[in-house]
Amino acid sequence: MASKVLVLGISGSPRKDGNTDIAVKRTLEAISRLRDVETLFIRVADFNIKHCIGCRECMKIGECAIRDDDFNIILEKLMQAEMIVVGAPVFWNSPPGVMKDFIDRTHGFYTDRKRLLGKKVGIISVAAESGFESHEDILSWMRIYGAEIVGKVRIYAREKGEILQRPKEIAKVERFARILAERLQ
Ligand SMILES: Cc1cc2nc3c(=O)[nH]c(=O)nc-3n(C[C@H](O)[C@H](O)[C@H](O)COP(=O)(O)O)c2cc1C
């Protein structure tokens, strides 16, 4: 029997069970109601991801030279996934450092700009009020490596779990999930 397609949800928020975690989880739940897929939710902050040190060794070897942390655990899941739902709160117009560390560590993919070809990506940005544009640009980094951005959603929420008190924002997540589900076989 063929194994199910994997939809990976990645939350880049340092705040456990905050608005981003909720939005990413809700998206995965909605997709799995619509499609017979396997889903997996992970939080980057639950892993030990070291900072990129800018050595550029990755440009010679095609992968990150730092190997004594959890980066490859997340990378392995990402490579297995057909769809990646990546969410992060806006911190000063950009993703939080913990998410940016993960992004920086994929720099070696530049040696093969087709590394993520065929993968579909949905982007969830959460902010209290502003900073979405530059944030979304950074969170769209996988398109540089061939992935297709198939949907984006901007969620307005500030306090922990506030999204749950905002039916309009939850409805946006549901709509976003439907758009993503349509892009799965
Ligand atoms: C360090 C920091 C920087 C922030 N910067 C912004 C910002 O630039 N624009 C904005 O609208 N909200 C900003 N916020 C608010 C968060 O985006 C908001 O609280 C969001 O709901 C957090 O999501 P989470 O619950 O998933 O962690 C910031 C919050 C923190 C802690």
In a domain, 80, yes or no: yes
In a domain, 1, yes or no: no
In terms of Cβ atoms closer than 10 Å to its own Cβ (0-12, 13-18, 19+), residue 114 is: exposed
Is 136 in contact with 152 (CB distance < 8 Å)? yes
| Ligand 1 mutation target, pool 10, 85, 90, most atoms within 8 A of CB | 90
| Ligand 1 mutation target, pool 91, 94, 162, 164, most atoms within 8 A of CB | 91
Query: Please, what's the largest Cα pairwise distance for the chain?
Result: 49
Residue % of the chain over a pLDDT of 90 = 96
Residue 73's domain comprises: 6-182
Q: Which atom number of ligand 1 is nearest to the Cα of residue 129? A: 11
Question: What average pLDDT does range 19-37 have in this prediction?
Answer: 98
In a domain, 159, yes or no: yes
1 falls in which pLDDT band (50, 70, 90)? low
The pLDDT tens digits of the residues spanning 115-154 come to 999 999 999 999 999 999 999 999 999 999 999 999 999 9
Cα(18) to centroid(ligand 1), Å:
11
Residues 6+ apart with CB under 8 A from 78: 8, 10, 84
Cα(141)–Cα(145) distance, integer angstroms: 8
In a domain, 166, yes or no: yes
- Into how many domains does the chain fold? 1
The pLDDT tens digits of the residues spanning 90-118 come to 999 999 999 999 999 999 998 998 999 99
Q: Which of 185, 180, 112, 181 is nearest to 149 (CA)?
A: 180
Answer whether residue 159 shows pLDDT above 80. Answer: yes
Answer whether residue 88 shows pLDDT above 70. Answer: yes
In a domain, 68, yes or no: yes
CATH number at residue 63: 3.40.50.360
Question: What average pLDDT does range 31-35 have in this prediction?
Answer: 97
**pTM score:** 0.98
In a domain, 53, yes or no: yes
Q: Supply the Cα-derived Rg of the chain in whole angstroms.
A: 16
Residues 6+ apart with CB under 8 A from 152: 122, 123, 124, 125, 136, 176
